[in-house]
Amino acid sequence: MRILLFTGKGGVGKTTTAAATALRCADEGHRTLVLSTDPAHSLADAFAEPLADRPVQIADRLWGQQLDARARMEESWSEIRAWLLDVFAWAGVEGIEAEELAVVPGLDEVFALADLADHVASGDWDVVVVDCAPTAETLRLLSLPDVAAWYMDRLFPVGRRLNRVVGPVLGRITSLPIAGDEVFSATNQVYARLQTVKGLLADPDTASVRLVVNPERMVIAEARRTATYLALFGYGVDTVVANRMLPAAVTDPWFDRLRASHAEHLEAIREGFAPVPVLTVDLAPVEPIGVDALRSFAAELYGESSAAAVRHRGEPMRVETVDGVHRLVLSLPFGERGELDLGRRDDELLVRLGPYRRALMLPDSLRTRAVAGARLREGELVVEFT
């Protein structure tokens, strides 16, 4: 089973690359599903085929799906939503305002992840290709299992106990709707599915993230930040796709400066992301739309190699012992000292990199040891314990 997630800055050709990869996987004999989690779906446009909220066959061994977050919420969020609507009605908020407030921001990402877990569990697919939202939304999507784990481990059990003790008392002195066991059960089910997805996506033999970039300074800078944040949450990048390179056949002197710029940026991409392999695709004279154009795109991108193969196995986090000193090593490619903060709380190491935060549960071998120091070393955060 392989899961390939494609992300990148908006407009770099992420959907085209995901669609072409899925088609190539199907041509290689794999039962393949290409799934869009981008709220602004364009997967159907790439194939020039209508797609729906359920898998629709596009070609031999290839199906496509554009997730409807609203439909997923009706299926999985109904108990929680009903309780929230009762609470808002009690507070005097009704109608369309209550309906909107009952939809928590970010739920589309939650249910996109849950759908991915269901597809993997079904056994119907050999490869699932995910056309993710642009990078910021993708990072939120992939950080959800960690955020949910923190909540479920600390606040959820306390809230459930308090509800059982205080709920009956509140029910006698106020008309405020109290959450019942069905609300807690629905929340727990969503969390369990998220944790299943976390286990799948964190396994480098099962899942890989592929970054799509253009030879532009701002795009490359965002891709580097994305690689750092993905490593922070334990996800490995196995391929970088440099899309829309100026073709060698274009020899007009008018393009000399652009050709030199592309060559400089490509070298920066290869050096910056090494040892992750970088694949290139030339700028096409027309937009690659439809199965035939996507098949040609994939042929240029992958050559004779397999699209589904694991191209690089990174190691986002490891524990090592050097001269009796225990070290936790966290891969943070392109991380900068000025935007990094560290803290320790009980059995957790708290890491903040830019706007993103993660609470790392320390392995048993490190929980009873004190932090002796930390440093950034060639794209790795090294934390020493005594």
pLDDT in tens, 127-180: 999 998 887 777 776 776 776 666 556 545 544 444 454 444 434 444 545 555
The C-alpha angle 332, 203, 241, rounded to 5 degrees, equals: 60
pLDDT at 158: 46
Q: Which among 304, 327, 351 is the end of a domain? A: 304
* Residue 309 lies inside a defined structural domain of this protein: no
The secondary element (H helix, E strand) that includes residue 24 is helix 14-27
The two three-digit tokens of residue 313, written as one number: 């196995």
355: domain CATH number is: 2.60.40.790
Do 275 and 335 share a domain, yes or no? Answer: no
Does residue 200 register a pLDDT over 60? yes
Residue numbers of the domain that contains 355: 317-385
Do 252 and 293 share a domain, yes or no? Answer: yes
Residue type, 286: V
* Residue 366 lies inside a defined structural domain of this protein: yes
pLDDT at 160: 46
Q: 127 and 208 in contact (C-beta within 8 Å)? A: no
Please give the average per-residue pLDDT across 322-333, as a whole number: 86
Do 70 and 161 share a domain, yes or no? Answer: yes
* Residue 354 lies inside a defined structural domain of this protein: yes
Indicate the number of domains in the chain. Answer: 2
- Give the integer Cα–Cα distance in Å for 118 and 234: 22
pLDDT at 23: 98
Do 293 and 331 share a domain, yes or no? Answer: no
The two three-digit tokens of residue 264, written as one number: 């400089």
* Residue 104 lies inside a defined structural domain of this protein: yes
Helix axes 107-122, 181-201, angle to 10 degrees: 70
CB atoms within 10 A of CB 135: 23
**pLDDT cut 90: percent of the chain above it:** 41
Q: Taking the model in full, what pTM does it have?
A: 0.78
pLDDT at 159: 47
The two three-digit tokens of residue 341, written as one number: 């903060």
* Residue 310 lies inside a defined structural domain of this protein: no
Do 64 and 170 share a domain, yes or no? Answer: yes
Do 143 and 202 share a domain, yes or no? Answer: yes
Task: For 95-130, write each residue's pLDDT tens digit.
Answer: 555 555 445 555 566 667 778 888 998 999 999 999
pLDDT band at residue 79, thresholds of 50, 70 and 90? Answer: low
* Residue 171 lies inside a defined structural domain of this protein: yes
The two three-digit tokens of residue 170, written as one number: 């509140």
Task: For 243-284, write each residue's pLDDT tens digit.
Answer: 999 999 999 999 999 999 999 999 999 988 888 999 999 999
DSSP lists the bridge partners of residue 381 as 330, 376
Please give the average per-residue pLDDT across 322-328, as a whole number: 87
Q: 249 and 326 in contact (C-beta within 8 Å)? A: no
Q: 320 and 45 in contact (C-beta within 8 Å)? A: no
* Residue 311 lies inside a defined structural domain of this protein: no
Do 324 and 293 share a domain, yes or no? Answer: no
Q: Which among 250, 279, 304 is the end of a domain? A: 304
Please give the average per-residue pLDDT across 58-65, as a whole number: 97
Q: Please state whether beta strands 62-66 and 32-36 pair in parallel, antiparallel, or not at all (unpaired).
A: parallel
Task: For 331-364, write each residue's pLDDT tens digit.
Answer: 888 888 888 899 888 877 888 888 777 777 777 7
